[in-house]
Structure 1
Amino acid sequence: MPEAHTAEPGHAPFPMSRGRCPFDPPPELGRKLHDEPVSRVRIWDGSEPWLFTRYEDVRALLADPRVSADPGRAGYPAQTPGVKARRDRVKSFIGMDDPEHAAQRRLLTGDFMVKKVQRMRPRIQQIVDGLIDEMLAGPKPADLVQAFALPVPSLVICELLGVPYADRDFFHRCSKILVSREATVEESLAATEELLDYLARLVEKKIGEPADDVFSRLATGPVATGAMTVEDAAAMGQLLLVAGHETTANMIALGTVALLENPDQLAAVRDGDDALLANAVEELLRYLTIVHSGRRRVALEDLEIGGQTVRAGEGLVAATDVANRDETQFPEPDKLDVTRKARHHVAFGYGVHQCLGQPLARVELQVAYRTLYRRIPALALAAPVDELKFKHDMVVYGVHELPVTW
């Protein structure tokens, strides 16, 4: 697995290996949280960024304007060689600093506002019900990832962006490469070029044939006025398309595994009211934190975080997964408790780069969890948890397959 690096004494390799519980952060991260909350770690290229594990330090880091999210800056601790090569090739607003970041993000804010997303709830419900109908009519056991978890957010993001769902095999293949920790530089760049070319052609088509979708608004707005190039729009679309289905798909599947392993919690989600359901989604986001290799930054100037002086140009990693297990914020943090008030978690990041699509993800998860467990109350794993193939090899954590029966 990619976690198996070697490191000099005193500098732990990062990312770290998980322990026996597939839902918990690596044990070494937990140790650091308690004993060494700020430390150096060694990543794939031999560089030694600072790792921050405490909740308050993670939030301080991610909110500090003196740190940069730009992967092109010297000292930025890229996740993998493939991710570095891809972000060197194409830049999207997630890797920009203000004011450029804010200007690009504003172009999309209206499409992900809470009120607009809530208006999408009936359509999301329709999608979820249709997929469950198909799964119930099909063979058992079924792979919940392919039958349900992956199609739900894929259909939703395709309709929102204006991407033909018929092309899902193509963009799923590209996405899988782009979020892989093991993809080579060549594989990552090839997938990037394929997806950029596809999305650029789609944007160009929308200029002459606009519809009610994000790509049409970009094509007839900033692209038409010259404020944005077609490739800029394609780069923005690549981020939205990949992040818009990979993250939610993994949360649906992994959250289902966690709930099936905690039947009292699943019963509460299934039988509780809407307020409890919304609360449960926040707790699952906290408990699982599927972005499990940290939020990466680089210092723009000398500063102090968590009592540690950081020099300009040094890389920084905010370990949001273990920060969400900080007992000063979440009592009994290793326990899944869907009644916990966990909305202040950092699973979506924090600060100006906090996930743009979080209102959509919340609605998708609420509809998917509630409907799945109510319509299939006998849902059960068709394989032991220790036989499931977890995504240690991906930047976004989850399960590759999830055999279920009922």
Structure 2
Amino acid sequence: MNQKLEYKACIDYCKFDQLPKGIEEKYATYEPDNSEILIHRDFLYGIWNQYNIPEDKRELLLSALEEIEKDSVLFYFTKFLVDDMCSARNRCDEDFYTNLTPGCMKKHGDLYSFLLLLSCVVPSIKQMENRGIPKEYYEKIPHQPLKNQLEKLVKSNDTKVSDFPWDMNFYTCSIFLLDRFFFIPYRFEDNFTMFRNKISQRVIALRHAGEEFRRDGQRDGINDVFDKKGKFATIWDENEDFITANRINPMGFVEKETTTINKSEWDTVLEKGDTVLAFHIPSGPGYTPDRVRNSMELAIEFYQEYFPELTIKGFWSESWLYDTRLSLILNESSNIVQVQRQFYNYPIFEGDSMLRYETFGDWKADPDSILLKTSLQKAAAEYIKSGRRFNTLSMVVLKEDANKVGSMPYITNEDMRRFKEIVDSHLQ
């Protein structure tokens, strides 16, 4: 099918249960792909042989694939989706892909999401080859979710893609493991701007106006905990020479007292819309400042060489591991605390569900009903039982400071003192 189909005609026919916002605009610039197959059979058979897929599951997958390929409209639109998905991450695209089920598939609609992701592998590998990226950086990446997906299918007939947005990073070869940590391009969109002093090189983050915070510097209402008497709203007062705003303390809270900077003395180093590298933490040993620094330095070199069109300003991440309240219950020498100290941590509107899941095994875990085994579990449970709550925080490390990780480039003793003074103050 060489002629481009109208977008509305495609979606009216395919009857997807959901599509990413903004996808129609992407379709407007799509150049049709005239290939006659969605997944090369040599690639498919190689996967089956590699993972010893039994004959009945091979027939199932092939039947589902052929159902897509024999439906001219669904096949056409699926090729568009593959084309868009393969470049979405490096474009830091706002489209949020998730599981898709086309209503026009009468037999194997439950397999569509998996086959859509699998269809991205070969064209993504070609993109890596065209960039000259050595094979060792990407050849194993798609197999991380693929292995688990096929095991589920074989053992329990489970066709569901459990975490489509996360798995998409791997099937499209968009995420890279550099030493210990994963990295992927990300558009920074949080409500603050970072500045660096031209002389001292000190970095400061100033929160934008109009957000409400409790007296402990966390978002009012996080964990459904409000501070009616002590809450404050951030301000941003700027003229030709000065900016007055609420500073983000790098220990992960917003200060009620405002800070004023002379614009002629500071350079803007990070603002909304900038490109950063999202920093992801696989499980396992090696969560140390040295490994963080080495991985970040490798990431800077890698993206400068193979993705020179991306202007990387630094690194960004969010995790329960960055909650500086953990420094109140853990030894100062613990890896969790030591790594926290290397970041510019800041509050977001995420509560303690991630910590409950990672520590106790359930997003809504009640420590009172769980057998506590580890020292972290016991300490976290005691903190929660006292009426206090943890938060998920985000962090930033600027590109120029990656080589300083290990020497606390942002947090000072005064910052730590102020944190201990203000933490949980809304409960007093």
Q: TM-score, normalised by structure 2?
A: 0.25
Greater share of strand: 2
Larger Rg: 2
Instruction: With the length of structure 1 as denominator, give the TM-score of the two structures.
Output: 0.26
Higher helix share: 1
Greater relative contact order (CA < 8 Å, ≥ 6 in sequence): 1
